[in-house]
C-alpha cells in the first residue's frame, strides 16, 4: 500500500458517509446500460459473477436484475457499505454479500467465478498493487470487465485516484483485452470498458472497439477540474492567507485543498477535524456555523458543486446573506466573510 496515502483507511471512513453517487444520474444509467449491453452481446453465459468494490450496491442490483439465474457475490471493504447494499438490493435472492480487503492475503470470496466486474474500482489503487491484485483475480475468474478512466488527466487528481493504461496493464499480465468507449459523454465525461481474459472468445473480439490511435478525445473531467482551478484561484484572491476558511465542498477536493495553504481549511460539518456530512436542517447548519465561528472561523465558501446547499437549506442561506458579508458570488464559488 502507498506509504503516503492509506487506501483502506480512506474507504473505511468514506464508506460510513455516503449512500449515493456524486455524478449525474443519467451518467450512471449510461454506464449501467453499456455494461449490460456489452455483457449480453458476447453471448457468454455468466453463472457466477463477482462484483468487486460493490459500495452501496448500485452495480450489484443491476447485475442481479439482468442475470437472475446467476449467483452474484458482492464484496466491499466497508461494513457500512455492505449494509447499505443489502438494503438497496433487498428482495433479490441471487446475491451473496461478503467483506473483503483487497490488500489481504486471503482468497477472493466465493471460489471460482465466470466474471469479475469492477466499475470505478481499479482507479482507486496504485499500479504497484493493482498488477498483483489482477493476477489474483485472473486465477479465480475466467473474465474481467472494468469501467474506468484510462487517459491521463492534465489536471490535479485527488490523492485517492490513479489513472492506469489498462491495455498495457492487461498485456503485461499475459491477458488479451478489448477496450470500448462508452458511446456518449455526460457533462463532458467519458470512460472506457475493458474486457480481458487469458483468451477471449470471437464474440468478444468482434465487439466494436475504440477508434484508431491518433483520434483522441478530450481528457475526462475537464469541466470539473477547470471549475476547480478557477474556484481555488478565486479563493486565494478573496480569502486572506491568515484566514480560517470553512470550505463546504462535500469532501470532494482531495489534495486540491493544499493549494489554499497557508489558510486553515475546515470542513462543514466536521467532527474531530474530519468531514461529517450535511446537517439535518437549517437550525443544525446555523448552530454549527456559530460554533465554528466562535472557535475562530473567519470565512465560509461554497464551490459550484455545493450550491445545492444554499437551495436546500434556504434558512441557512438567508442567515448568511443577512448577517455575513458576501465577498464574491460567481458561477464557480460563493464566499462569505463571517462578521463579528
Q: Which of 37, 87, 36, 46 is nearest to 69 (CA)?
A: 46
pLDDT at 291: 94
Q: Which of 1-5, 242-246, 320-324 has the lowest mean pLDDT?
A: 1-5
**216 falls in which pLDDT band (50, 70, 90)?**
very low
Residue 336 has pLDDT above 70, yes or no: yes
Instruction: For the chain, give the mean pLDDT.
Output: 87
- State the residue for C-alpha cell 466491499: 76
What is the rounded distance in angstroms from the CA atom of residue 129 to the CA atom of residue 100?
Answer: 16
**129 falls in which pLDDT band (50, 70, 90)?**
very high
pLDDT at 212: 41
pLDDT at 219: 46
What is the rounded distance in angstroms from the CA atom of residue 144 to the CA atom of residue 134?
Answer: 9
Cβ pair 73, 127 in contact under 8 A: no
Q: What is the mean pLDDT of residues 171-182?
A: 94
Rounded to 10 degrees, what is the CA torsion of 300, 273, 19, 83?
-160
- State the residue for C-alpha cell 491568515: 242
**130 falls in which pLDDT band (50, 70, 90)?**
very high
Domain ranges for the chain: 7-205, 222-338
pLDDT at 324: 96
**2 falls in which pLDDT band (50, 70, 90)?**
very low
pLDDT at 178: 95
- For the question of whether the overall pTM of this predicted structure is more than 0.85, the answer is no
Residue 1 has pLDDT above 60, yes or no: no
- In which order are the strands placed within the sheet that holds 141-148? 95-99, 71-76, 48-52, 113-119, 141-148, 192-197, 176-181
Q: What is the mean pLDDT of residues 121-142?
A: 94
- In which order are the strands placed within the sheet that holds 333-338? 264-267, 244-247, 299-303, 333-338, 324-329
Q: Which CATH architecture has domain 7-205?
A: 3-Layer(aba) Sandwich (3.40)
Q: Which of 62-66, 125-129, 185-189, 334-338 has the lowest mean pLDDT?
A: 185-189
**30: helix, strand or coil:** helix
Q: Quick one: cell of 328?
A: 464574491
pLDDT at 152: 64
pLDDT at 3: 45
Q: What is the mean pLDDT of residues 88-110?
A: 95
Cβ pair 154, 220 in contact under 8 A: no
Residue 222 has pLDDT above 90, yes or no: no
Amino acid at each position: 500500500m502507498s506509504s503516503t496515502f492509506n487506501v483502506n483507511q480512506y474507504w473505511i471512513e468514506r464508506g460510513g458517509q455516503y449512500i449515493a453517487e456524486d455524478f449525474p444520474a443519467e451518467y450512471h444509467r449510461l454506464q449501467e446500460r453499456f455494461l449490460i449491453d456489452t455483457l449480453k452481446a458476447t453471448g457468454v453465459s455468466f453463472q457466477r459473477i463477482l462484483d468487486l468494490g460493490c459500495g452501496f450496491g448500485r452495480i450489484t442490483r443491476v447485475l442481479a436484475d439482468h442475470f437472475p439465474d446467476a449467483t452474484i457475490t458482492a464484496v466491499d471493504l466497508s461494513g457500512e457499505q455492505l449494509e447499505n447494499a443489502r438494503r438497496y438490493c433487498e428482495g433479490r435472492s441471487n446475491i451473496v454479500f461478503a467483506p473483503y480487503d483487497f490488500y489481504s492475503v486471503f482468497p477472493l470470496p466465493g471460489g471460482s467465478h465466470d466474471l469479475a466486474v469492477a466499475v470505478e474500482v481499479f482507479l482507486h489503487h496504485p499500479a504497484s498493487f493493482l498488477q498483483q491484485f489482477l493476477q489474483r483475480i485472473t486465477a479465480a475468474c475466467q473474465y474481467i470487465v472494468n469501467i474506468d478512466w484510462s487517459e491521463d488527466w492534465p489536471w490535479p487528481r485527488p490523492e485517492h485516484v490513479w489513472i492506469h493504461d489498462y491495455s498495457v496493464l492487461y498485456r503485461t499480465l499475459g491477458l488479451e483485452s478489448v477496450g470500448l468507449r462508452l458511446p456518449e459523454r455526460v457533462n463532458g465525461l467519458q470512460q472506457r470498458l475493458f474486457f480481458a481474459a487469458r483468451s477471449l472468445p470471437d464474440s468478444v473480439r468482434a465487439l466494436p472497439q475504440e477508434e484508431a490511435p491518433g483520434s483522441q478525445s478530450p481528457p475526462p473531467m475537464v469541466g470539473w477540474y477547470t471549475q476547480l482551478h478557477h474556484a481555488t484561484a478565486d479563493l486565494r484572491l478573496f480569502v486572506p492567507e491568515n484566514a480560517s476558511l470553512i470550505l463546504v465542498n462535500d469532501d470532494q477536493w482531495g489534495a486540491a485543498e493544499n493549494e489554499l495553504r497557508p489558510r486553515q481549511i475546515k470542513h462543514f460539518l466536521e467532527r474531530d477535524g474530519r468531514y461529517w456530512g450535511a446537517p439535518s436542517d437549517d437550525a443544525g447548519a446555523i448552530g454549527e456555523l456559530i460554533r465554528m465561528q466562535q472557535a475562530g472561523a473567519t470565512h465560509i465558501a461554497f464551490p459550484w458543486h455545493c450550491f445545492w446547499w444554499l437551495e436546500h437549506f434556504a434558512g441557512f442561506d438567508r442567515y448568511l446573506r443577512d448577517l455575513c458579508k458576501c465577498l464574491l458570488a460567481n458561477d464557480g464559488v460563493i464566499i462569505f466573510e463571517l462578521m463579528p
